[in-house]
Structure 1
Amino acid sequence: MTKRKVFCIGFHKTGTSSLGVALEKLGYRVTGYYPFRELAQQDEVALPELEKLAIEVAADYDAAQDSPWPILYRQMDKAFPGSRFIHITRDRDAWINSALKDFDTNPNAMRKLIYGAPYPRHNEAIWLERYDQHNSDVKAYFKDRPDDFISLDLEKGEVNWENICSFLGEPVPTIPWPHANRRGIKKQKMLLYKVLETLGLKSP
């Protein structure tokens, strides 16, 4: 039986990488940011261009997480009827502090499209306003659709096997919930991406 597609639509730095690993352990083929890396390195990226690529990529996978997927929930809902959407939030101060540690003043065209500013340092208020607006918009869009949408608070411990598996109708694994985006692991992932790009290969 074909799995219903799953889109993780919480902004990055909310535990989406760990959710992606969890979905893989449940048997989902998961994609993320990697297919959009070339677009993100451009001076500008247009939303229609992003939408077109996202639909093409999503067709080949069961689930998606990380940027730019959160801002494309309307398009994915339309393109793939019956999909499920997982929205994760966390304390806004903890979120911006995590973004500052990872992105600082490093520009990125896709982050500029999402937030209106290419990096969080000195743009904290802009990023936080967008974060709040996204979370509000998502909840309003999926209001009264509990079969398709779940919103979980990372810092309340709501992101766990029990809640995810109950929502997706999957058996609960006996292994601990994964923690995928610790700094050492992230550095290893970025090194792997660079090696794959050099070899002209796709990410696993």
Structure 2
Amino acid sequence: MKVIVAGMSKTGTTTMNAALTELGYEVYDLMENFWYVGDGWMKQFKEGFRVEDMKRMYENVDAVVNTPCDKYWEEIFEAFPDSKVILTTRDEDSWFKSLTNQIDRMNSDVTFRLVRTFTYTGIRFQTYFSRSERHLANIGTWPFSNYYLKHEESLKRFKRKHEQNVTEVVPKNQLLIYQVTEGWKPLCDFLDVPVRNEPFPHKNKGGVALDEMRKENAVMQRLENELWIFFACMFVLFVALLYNMHQYMV
């Protein structure tokens, strides 16, 4: 593990995935964390966090970003204390607006809701995600709920506490406080790599994360393929049922 992105969702985490990938890092984002090490996370939610488990989960991964790693960044940092930590941030007003907009879009996305209801992998994902949120709520470190989404100042206050904690825990020589609008130079200087000449990537503008994942993420594509297979099977069964009913009636 070389890089831990400790910034909260909607502070440029999807963009950080793209930037680190362009720099040659093997990055685990939301879907990769679920697909490749989700069982390890579920074990830790149930039995408690162990450094040995975290080391095994991420021994061949260069960087982590987004849920659940942004919320459990300290546990990862304990397992990999030589890692560099990037605290992505943005102004609170635009962050809160972007966060609530993305959640609304995800909750209203019919296909994504069907995936989490009718497919094997989608149900596993929903269970994994819910267990993560429930574990955080139980230990009192993550106030993510409909209540807080309706109480803007409470969520903003949590963001401030989260960022303050990162700055207090991580040694200054291992920490970069960063806004993705700053582009390549501060990021590349911090990581000790040559500054890129290509345009800096900007992802998930306007909360279109699901649309981007459908185009680019193999795990998301698998989930949606399972949905279409499910519907195809249901259609075949329905036609077979109608045929049998017809045969019975004649």
TM-score (structure 1 length as normaliser):
0.76
Question: Aligned residue for 1:195?
Answer: 221
Report the 3-state secondary structure (helix = DSSP H, G, I; strand = E; otherwise coil) of the residue aligned with 2:172: coil
Equivalent residues in 2 for 1:1-204 (5 A)? 5-34=2-31, 35-36=33-34, 48=48, 55-104=55-104, 106=107, 109=130, 110-111=132-133, 113=136, 115-119=142-146, 121-142=149-170, 145-154=171-180, 157-158=181-182, 160-182=183-205, 183-184=207-208, 186-190=210-214, 192=217, 193-197=219-223
Q: Deviations over 1:62-103 (max 9, x none)?
A: 001111212222212221131000001111111111111011
Tell me if the contact between 1:6 and 1:83 (Cα under 8 Å) persists in the aligned partners. yes
Task: Say if 1:190 and 1:126 are closer, same or farther in 2 by CA, change over 3 A.
Answer: farther
Counterpart amino acid of 1:151?
Answer: I
Name stretches of at least 5 consecutive residues in structure 2 with no aligned partner. 108-125, 227-250
- What is the Cα-based RMSD across aligned positions, in Å? 3.2
Letter in 2 for 1:162: K
Percent identical pairs in the alignment equals: 24
Taking the aligned partners of 2:30 and 2:86, their CA distance within structure 1 comes to 17
Partner of 2:248: none
114-123 or 97-106: bigger deviation? 114-123
Q: Based on CA coordinates, which of the two structures has the bigger radius of gyration?
A: 2
> Which structure carries more helix by proportion?
2
Change (3 A) 1:188 1:53: farther
Structure 1 runs not aligned, ≥5 long: none
Number of residues of Structure 1 aligned to a counterpart in Structure 2? 188
Amino acid at match of 1:116: P
Question: 1:162 deviation in Å?
Answer: 0.4
For 2:158 and 2:200, locate their aligned partners in 1 and report how far apart those are by CA, in whole Å: 29
State how far apart, in whole Å, the 1-side matches of 2:96 and 2:211 are. 20
Moved more, 67-76 or 7-16: 67-76
Contact 1:117/1:126 (8 A) holds in 2 = no
The Cα shift of 1:184 comes to: 4.7
